Chain A
């Protein structure tokens, strides 16, 4: 049995709850339309009746009637406008559908509900719909990737002739992590730098693949079917020369480390470099966020996802190193789950972009013999130096330039063109320096991933080891 204290407390709690609801707008209240209908309607009808003016009475009668009709249907009952649960982690292409449960109750007639706007990020714009009880399905607004609010059911209800309103209420928000898209790449954009004993790529070790590695004199343990009779006869076998065998490469998987430069995220317009913080944006599209072209980080992330998918499809091991935040490092791994992990980690990297004072790629993060793809706009010497150091450690390093092109000078300053020329000259010197240290530089352009992959393949395929001839 409830004590008087419990009753008092519950009454107090209820009053508090009511007060809070009143603050949030979750209650029905009259509008100016109701006051207008009553005041003007009653006033004109009374005036017309007292002063025998039928015309005034007739003008006021519809307002009075409309107000009375509006008040006969009293909005009541619980109002439910909430998003139905949606998956937290989704793909750009799939899982686009979102649902909102709507139960306006009573005689609510108009529902103003914020819904995602196709082609735009954020919570979207307000749509004014007929009220009722239904489940509304809509699509996620943005085609971009990243973590953001995709649906927030801000709403307002109105009764007949908008005489009473409920709200506006800030609705529950649905956040989603949209994984960056994977652009299909042609198979095989991988350099001949592999590790392990099985896989799709040629290893430096001898093995059982079909690709010739060397021809050397016969040694104990060699199989007879590997004897190259033609070379052996030319060498004078069986009279003076030795028996020669054909040695083949082993097949192997490759280790690839994608090094993502998250220290800067810039677009093509130099005027925005200092004023805009793109890392604070909700969704990134890669193909154009809102009005502007893709930023360097958009391009880098999409390139990383596409390269990772391509390599993982071949059975290789791919890892991710955030040069700005080493704690977001993802160890090289293989398989479909690794691709999922990597794309999720890319979203995390992009979310915390721009927080690092200097890039870091520790030696222990790069497996021996791994290929390192440094994805950066190369706007400072530190990243270029880091790539050169990685190349000196013995790794094959490929620099992937993701700066949007062409750069646009700041039109608001007379020094815009000069600054642009300076930036271009610095970058040219930096990229030339990379090339002179044996680091091939590849420009990655969104929308042309196949071209970039072909260039990557061409850059790396020129480093095949020579055929080792016996006796030389």
Chain B
């Protein structure tokens, strides 16, 4: 039994630089700490910072738990409470990047054992996608920044909410097709 001739052969030595799997846990910890730092800069009290710190630690210990979701979601909601600046303030933009980064790094950390070797070439495609999505979101933010401020028609808002609900339905259908 042999592989077809058109299958490329890759030597283990050519896989490139590898780092230990726990580096991903370190990345989750760094992102969590950065989120807490942003909230602190926004004026969140110490107790809130401690709670967010504990949730961040839980995300590091168990990235496949609900902790990263709680941290990202709660950080976004907390910014509505403590944020007093403009909509496109640096703190908000930082959270846009950090919550996404937390989502991606926790997803990867959840499947990589701490003792594994992570070859850095595996991060190339997720990084490219991350940058593309961030570019799209920042474009949206730029459009929102130049758009006129005022009350939207009710019908438009209903369509917007229905659109979001439609996206959720599409995602559920995709899941069920599996």
Contacts and interface: CB of A to CB of B under 8 A. Distances in A.
B117 A127 contact: yes
Interface string A153-179: 000101011111100000000000000
Given A49-B161, A61-B137, A56 B79 contact: yes
A277 interface: no
Interface residues of A, number: 71
Nearest to B175: A30
Contacts of A74: 174, 177-178
B106 to A, nearest CB: 7
B171 A161 contact: no
B95 to A, nearest CB: 5
Interface string B97-111: 001100110111011
A286 B115 CA distance: 27
Nearest to A61: B137
A64 interface: yes
B104, B106, B164 interface centre (most CB from chain A within 10 Å): B164
Nearest to B115: A125
A32 B66 contact: yes
B interface SS class: helix
A101 interface: yes
Contacts of A69: 129, 133
B60 to A, nearest CB: 15
A128 B72 contact: no
B103 A127 contact: no
A317 B126 CA distance: 64
Given A54-B144, A125-B117, A128-B117, A66 B2 contact: no
A156 B161 CA distance: 37
B100 A63 contact: yes
Contacts of A163: 107
A398 B14 CA distance: 50
Given A32-B66, A63-B99, A162-B110, A46 B141 contact: no
Contacts of B12: 115, 136-139
Interface residues of B, number: 75
Contact of A63 (B72, B93, B160): B72
Contact of A32 (B64, B96, B115, B130): B64
A84 to B, nearest CB: 7
A109 interface: yes
A59 interface: yes
Contact of A46 (B100, B122, B161, B177): B161
Contacts of A55: 76, 79-80, 83, 87-89, 92, 95
A161 B126 contact: yes
A134 B107 contact: no
B125 to A, nearest CB: 6
A408 interface: no
B169 to A, nearest CB: 10
A134 B8 contact: yes
Interface string B66-95: 101100110111011001000111001101
A67 interface: yes
A112 interface: yes
B65 A112 contact: no
Given A50-B161, A56-B79, A134 B129 contact: no
Interface of B: 1-3, 7-12, 15, 18, 21, 64-66, 68-69, 72-73, 75-77, 79-80, 83, 87-89, 92-93, 95-96, 99-100, 103-104, 106-108, 110-113, 115-119, 121-122, 124-126, 129-130, 133-134, 136-137, 140-141, 144, 157, 160-161, 164-165, 167-168, 170-171, 174-175, 177-178
19 contacts: A31-B64, A31-B111, A33-B107, A36-B103, A42-B167, A58-B96, A58-B137, A59-B92, A61-B140, A65-B137, A66-B103, A67-B171, A69-B129, A109-B126, A129-B15, A129-B122, A160-B125, A161-B129, A165-B111
Given A34-B175, A37-B103, A160-B126, 20 more contacts: A32-B66, A33-B107, A38-B168, A50-B157, A50-B161, A55-B76, A59-B72, A59-B75, A59-B96, A61-B137, A62-B96, A63-B100, A68-B170, A71-B174, A84-B2, A125-B117, A130-B119, A135-B8, A138-B12, A162-B107
